[in-house]
Amino acid sequence: MASLKEILDGNNLLKRPDKQNISPEQSPVREEKVYLCSFCQDRGIILENDVAHPCVCMQQKKLVNQFRTARMAKALLTCRLDNFSLNYYLSADGNKTDQESARRALEAARNFISKYSENPYGSGLLFTGPVGAGKTYLAAAIANELMLIDYQVLFLVVPDLLDELRASYKSEVNELDLLDAARTIPVLILDDLGAHNYTEWTRNRIYSIINYRMNEMLPTIITSNLTIDEMENYLGSRTTSRLVQMSRIFRLKTEDIRLRKYQERELRNP
């Protein structure tokens, strides 16, 4: 009769290969699972004394989804108000008029974020000025900082929005889905409301967005290279009138900052 040790050894042989007959190259290698989050091992929660707490990675995932939903371009995700330099607005002759205007716009951006945290309803901001004056940077910085404190933002580039609306007119895409998001999002940013080829049809769509948000007191941040008079020519008086009513208006004026940054970069890398 086999001993207990022999029986156990026999059972173990059935459960695993005989190491003596397997070369090191043939032996199975156990791969360790790699987790994206080492704290919770991708479970999303951490147990402390039998109490479950959300892991910090869940907040990070939520923030990533917010940026994706906001439709922010990657190049704009690093924009921050603290990095908005007023030095670009000082004229060569030392005149500080443009710099003071930029300072007021920057302060308005900070105040917008502070007041929005207290009350999500109220006036928006309209930044006007030439190409490269920092309008989009300010708008993107506001969007980023609002999302960092968990507010919903939608960033729409107007030419792209118009293209999507035109495409929906000739396809099965529901136009109302495109417009509803712009109408109802807590904070809407309309970037580059410029001298585009507006038809009566696209003017009406922009008006429907602006008019709804004005009536519901939902703040909108707008950038444009048009003056108020030029907006009236392109968008019509009823849309322009509402933009003025629902916005604080700031004009940024300087030489193209993008060009100046390029020149600075080239000087550093001769």
Lowest mean pLDDT among 40-49, 195-204, 244-253: 40-49
pLDDT in tens, 173-186: 566 777 888 899 99
The pLDDT, as a whole number, for residue 213 is: 96
| In the predicted structure, residue 165 carries a pLDDT above the cut 90 | no
Strand ranges of the sheet holding 247-251, from the earlier edge strand across to the other edge? 153-157, 187-191, 220-224, 124-128, 247-251
List, in order of start, the domains of the chain with CATH numbers: 86-262 (3.40.50.300)
Predicted confidence band of residue 103 (pLDDT cuts 50, 70, 90): very high
Q: Please say whether the dihedral angle defined by the alpha carbons of residues 208, 211, 217 and 220, taken in this order, is positive or negative.
A: positive
236: left (phi over 0), alpha (psi -120 to 50) or beta: left
| In the predicted structure, residue 47 carries a pLDDT above the cut 90 | no
The pLDDT, as a whole number, for residue 35 is: 65
The pLDDT, as a whole number, for residue 11 is: 40
Predicted confidence band of residue 145 (pLDDT cuts 50, 70, 90): very high
The pLDDT, as a whole number, for residue 22 is: 46
| Rounded CA separation 130/151 (Å) | 30
Under 8 Å between Cβ of 257 and 88: yes
Predicted confidence band of residue 63 (pLDDT cuts 50, 70, 90): very low
For the chain, give the number of residues.
Answer: 270
The pLDDT, as a whole number, for residue 210 is: 96
| Rounded CA separation 267/248 (Å) | 38
DSSP result, 140-198: HHHHHHHHHTT--EEEEEHHHHHHHHHHHHTSSS-HHHHHHHHHHSSEEEEE---S---
Structure tokens at 88: 């670009």
Most confident of 41-50, 94-103, 168-177, 216-225: 216-225
| In the predicted structure, residue 61 carries a pLDDT above the cut 70 | no
| Rounded CA separation 160/254 (Å) | 26
- 222-245 residues labelled b (16+ CB within 10 A) or e (exposed): bbbbbeeeebbebbbeebbbbbee
| In the predicted structure, residue 211 carries a pLDDT above the cut 90 | yes
The pLDDT, as a whole number, for residue 3 is: 38
pLDDT in tens, 76-99: 989 999 999 998 898 877 778 999
Q: How many other C-beta atoms are found inside a 10 Å radius of the C-beta of residue 256?
A: 15
| In the predicted structure, residue 27 carries a pLDDT above the cut 60 | no
| Rounded CA separation 202/164 (Å) | 11
